[in-house]
């Protein structure tokens, strides 16, 4: 999968002042240093990273579509995984809440959950296209395998906005834009926090996310590359997928502790797996802080684990895509150019702010 890294790494773009207005109260965040906003900043708004020149854009005219009024449009939203995961709960709620806020009738918003079954997600989206939706917002389970959807959507000129995971395809042809985090940067930031927590030495295990998507690939690459750079005395001695699941994270961690009870750190590529690993550590008689844990997402459970000393740091991956997704769609249907990638800025939590900023987690 390394051959795709150059293509998958998101470009950093901005949609300008109008989009930034949805998150004005969170502008105090230092997105370049990884700092966190003050307690008084927005608890949920997504903030867009700074602009990079030369990023491809797409207009309604280039796409070949027709202008749509979202207040009367039929919109399809495809969720990838079970909504037992706080990230998915917050993501779906954000889409539904923003749709209601801008005046889309409930009957015009079709939502479906693939429950981690890729064939079901493809079928769900194709049924939405057949039903006459005019906009698709998709949280893809996998990054590949979308050809049949693209063929159907492009034939009807239905724009596709992908959120939180990127599809390997051509923007302005197969899909309109991707909105999400810089996953490689998340891995790098997690590595920096792990190196700090472990004193730049020891053995670390990686609980990998689900295979087949760019989130897992880039969070792994970012972490490994950064650990090798900043803490070469930290050795990665264990890697196994936990499929972004708390139950599997616990199971894999139990296996890890049986085979290597002296592991010093666990990098979990999402909070659910980290929380599962904490259950395993408790079951093995470990105390808070015995094994350093760093994870990615920003759920209340994981941030509470930082406050309680069980985790060292959590890098946020903000799931509140509703305002930005619909603002992007509105601009597109109004003829404005839309960047191929819209990258958001993520905060992080550590011992300095986990207790005071718990309310910002989801």
- Give the domain CATH number at 76: 3.40.50.2300
> What is the rounded average pLDDT of the residues 58-62?
97
In a domain, 252, yes or no: yes
- How confident is residue 261, by pLDDT bands cut at 50, 70 and 90? confident
DSSP output for 174-222? TBSEEEEE-HHHHHHHHHHHHHHHHTT-EEEEEEE--TTSHHHHHHHHH
Same domain as 226, residue 302? yes
Task: Tokens 């808070």: give the residue.
Answer: 288
Number of domains in the chain: 2
In a domain, 19, yes or no: yes
What was the pLDDT predicted at 83?
86
In a domain, 362, yes or no: no
pTM exceeds 0.95 for this model: no
Same domain as 175, residue 133? yes
Looking at per-residue pLDDT, the higher value among 54 and 170 belongs to 170
In a domain, 361, yes or no: no
Same domain as 197, residue 116? no
Same domain as 130, residue 235? no
Same domain as 49, residue 113? yes
- Please name the residues in contact with 232: beta carbons below 8 A apart, sequence gap of 6 or more: none
- How confident is residue 50, by pLDDT bands cut at 50, 70 and 90? low
Lowest mean pLDDT among 82-91, 112-121, 203-212, 215-224: 82-91
Same domain as 121, residue 217? no
In a domain, 6, yes or no: no
Same domain as 219, residue 306? yes
Same domain as 242, residue 160? no
Query: Residue 316: in which H helix or E strand, if any?
Result: strand 313-316
The CA–CA distances, whole Å, from 217 to 62, 72, 170, 192, 225 equal 31, 39, 19, 18, 12
* Mutual angle of helices 214-230 and 183-198, in 10-degree steps: 40
In a domain, 82, yes or no: yes
Same domain as 140, residue 255? no
- How confident is residue 10, by pLDDT bands cut at 50, 70 and 90? very low
CA distance 78 to 100: 17
CA 162 to chain centre: 11
Same domain as 16, residue 33? yes
Tokens (6 digits) for 255: 């296996």
Q: State whether residue 136 is helix, strand or coil.
A: strand
In a domain, 233, yes or no: yes
Domain that holds residue 290: 183-316
- How confident is residue 84, by pLDDT bands cut at 50, 70 and 90? confident
Tokens (6 digits) for 139: 């949280």
In a domain, 357, yes or no: no
Same domain as 200, residue 63? no
What was the pLDDT predicted at 14?
40
**Pairing outcome for strands 348-350 and 313-316:** antiparallel
Asked if residue 17 has pLDDT above 60, the reply is: no
Same domain as 130, residue 22? yes
Handedness of CA 117, 118, 119, 121 (dihedral sign): positive
């Amino acid at each position: 999968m390394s051959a795709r890294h150059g293509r998958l790494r998101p470009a950093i773009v901005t949609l300008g002042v109008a989009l930034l207005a949805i998150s004005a109260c969170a502008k105090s965040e230092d997105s370049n240093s990884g700092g966190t906003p003050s307690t008084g900043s927005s608890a949920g708004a997504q903030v867009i990273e700074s602009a990079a020149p030369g990023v491809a854009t797409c207009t309604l005219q280039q796409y070949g579509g027709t202008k749509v009024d979202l207040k009367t449009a039929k919109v399809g939203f495809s969720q990838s995984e079970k909504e037992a995961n706080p990230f998915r709960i917050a993501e779906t709620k954000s889409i539904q809440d923003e749709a209601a806020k801008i005046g889309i009738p409930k009957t015009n918003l079709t939502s479906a959950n693939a429950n981690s079954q890729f064939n079901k997600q493809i079928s769900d989206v194709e049924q939405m296209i057949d039903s006459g939706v005019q906009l698709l917002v998709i949280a893809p389970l996998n990054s590949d395998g979308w050809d049949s959807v693209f063929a159907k959507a492009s034939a009807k000129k239905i724009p596709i906005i992908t959120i939180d995971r990127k599809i390997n395809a051509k923007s302005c042809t197969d899909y309109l834009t991707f909105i999400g985090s810089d996953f490689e940067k998340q891995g790098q930031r997690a590595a920096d926090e792990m190196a700090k927590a472990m004193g730049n030495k020891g053995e670390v295990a990686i609980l990998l996310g689900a295979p087949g998507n760019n989130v897992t690939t880039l969070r792994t690459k970012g972490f490994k590359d950064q650990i090798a750079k900043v803490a070469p005395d930290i050795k990665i001695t264990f890697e196994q997928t936990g499929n972004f699941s708390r139950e599997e994270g616990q199971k894999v961690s139990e296996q890890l502790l049986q085979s290597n009870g002296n592991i010093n750190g666990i990098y979990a590529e999402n909070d659910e797996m980290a929380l599962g690993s904490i259950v395993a550590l408790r079951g093995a008689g470990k105390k808070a802080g015995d094994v350093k844990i760093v994870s990615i997402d920003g759920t209340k459970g994981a941030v509470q684990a930082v406050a309680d000393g069980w985790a060292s740091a959590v890098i946020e991956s903000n799931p509140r895509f509703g305002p930005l997704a619909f603002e992007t769609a509105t601009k597109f249907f109004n003829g404005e150019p839309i960047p191929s990638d819209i990258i958001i800025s993520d905060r992080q939590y550590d011992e300095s702010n986990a207790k005071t900023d718990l309310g910002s987690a989801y």
